[in-house]
């Protein structure tokens, strides 16, 4: 049976990949495989008045940042890139450091949960193989590690290797605070045609960069001006992420104890 060091390695591998997922939120644009583009809204006499009338695109962006940073929870879905490798994400996160969601790499899928400061991760064989192979683990190492974690959740307690990195995925406050750090990224914007994201009217803000890279941010025109979508075309990491379920409860439950591999217990030399 693999030692706990092999199991720890698997957790760190997963952390290295997962943390690249939501992190690009801070850059006003995220990664590949965008959902359908915003559909232009047809004008009509009954259309809701433009809530941003009289504001410059940069001023709309400031309002969007302020509103989004006030969120107590949200859901992120889309595709992001890490080293040219597309990664699918679907996460619900709250401001208590809890989250639940899925990560997809190539043909593999893993589920991530974090509750009470403990992180749990369960991946299928394809996910673990892709993750561990990308970190240079040999086939014998991968095989023996898979035997230990197959069909089980990795339980990563605070202080365990990988806990901090994986926990950062679920740190909503940190993710949202990053949005406001680089004002240059959201200055010099232009306003494109209004559209809709999942039926909600949005203002479309566009940032064009040298080399043909274009970042587009869709801001809700109903209720709070939350960011509802971010798309990046061109450059090294094209792609898209949609934001939804703002301020809705995130229900996260710890997996049953008999379905977990407890790293802390393995460290103490006790059975998992």
pLDDT band at 60 (very low <50, low <70, confident <90, very high): very high
42-56, 62-76, 202-216: range with lowest mean pLDDT: 42-56
Q: Which residue has tokens 């940073």?
A: 69
Which residues touch 177 (CB under 8 Å, ≥6 apart)? 69
What CA–CA distance (Å, rounded) separates 265 from 235? 45
Indicate the pTM of the whole model: 0.78
Q: What percent of the chain has pLDDT over 70?
A: 76
Whether the CA torsion 192, 193, 196, 200 is positive or negative: it is: positive
CA distance 152 to 261: 7
Distance between CA atoms of residues 59 and 124, nearest Å: 45
Is there a contact between 24 and 31 (Cβ–Cβ < 8 Å)? Answer: yes
Measure the CA–CA gap between 196 and 218, rounded to whole angstroms: 8
**What is the C-alpha separation between 4 and 14, in angstroms, rounded?**
15
For 118-127, what is each residue's pLDDT tens digit?
A: 999 999 999 8
pLDDT at 47: 58
Confidence of residue 133 (pLDDT cuts 50, 70, 90): confident
Structural tokens at position 65: 């940042």
Give the pLDDT of residue 131.
Answer: 78
Give 19's contacts (C-beta < 8 A, 6+ positions apart).
165, 166, 168, 169
Give the domain ranges of the chain. 4-267
Q: Is the pLDDT of residue 160 over 60?
A: yes
Q: For the domain 4-267, what is the CATH code?
A: 2.50.20.20
């Amino acid at each position: 049976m693999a030692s706990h060091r092999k199991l720890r390695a698997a957790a760190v591998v997963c952390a290295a990949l997962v943390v690249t997922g939501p992190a690009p939120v801070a850059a006003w644009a995220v990664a590949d495989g965008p959902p359908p583009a915003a559909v232009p809204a047809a004008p009509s006499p009954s259309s809701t008045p433009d809530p941003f009338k009289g504001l410059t695109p940069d001023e709309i962006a400031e309002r969007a940042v302020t509103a989004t940073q006030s969120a107590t929870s949200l859901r992120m879905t889309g595709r992001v890139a890490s080293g040219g490798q597309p990664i699918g994400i679907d996460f619900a996160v709250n401001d208590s450091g809890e989250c639940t969601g899925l990560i997809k790499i190539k043909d593999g899928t893993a589920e991530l949960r974090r509750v009470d400061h403990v992180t749990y991760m369960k991946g299928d064989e394809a996910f673990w193989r892709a993750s561990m192979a990308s970190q240079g683990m040999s086939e014998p190492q991968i095989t023996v590690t898979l035997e230990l974690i197959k069909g089980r959740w990795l339980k990563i307690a605070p202080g365990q290797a990988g806990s901090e990195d994986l926990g950062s995925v679920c740190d909503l406050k940190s993710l949202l605070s990053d949005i406001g750090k680089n004002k240059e990224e959201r200055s010099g914007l232009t306003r494109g045609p209004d559209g809709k994201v999942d039926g909600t009217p949005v203002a479309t803000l566009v940032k064009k960069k040298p080399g043909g890279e274009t970042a587009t941010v869709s801001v809700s025109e109903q209720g709070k001006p939350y960011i509802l979508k971010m798309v990046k075309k061109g450059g090294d990491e094209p792609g898209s992420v949609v934001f939804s379920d703002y301020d809705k409860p995130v229900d996260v439950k710890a997996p049953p104890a008999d379905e977990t591999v407890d790293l802390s217990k393995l460290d103490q030399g006790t059975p998992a």
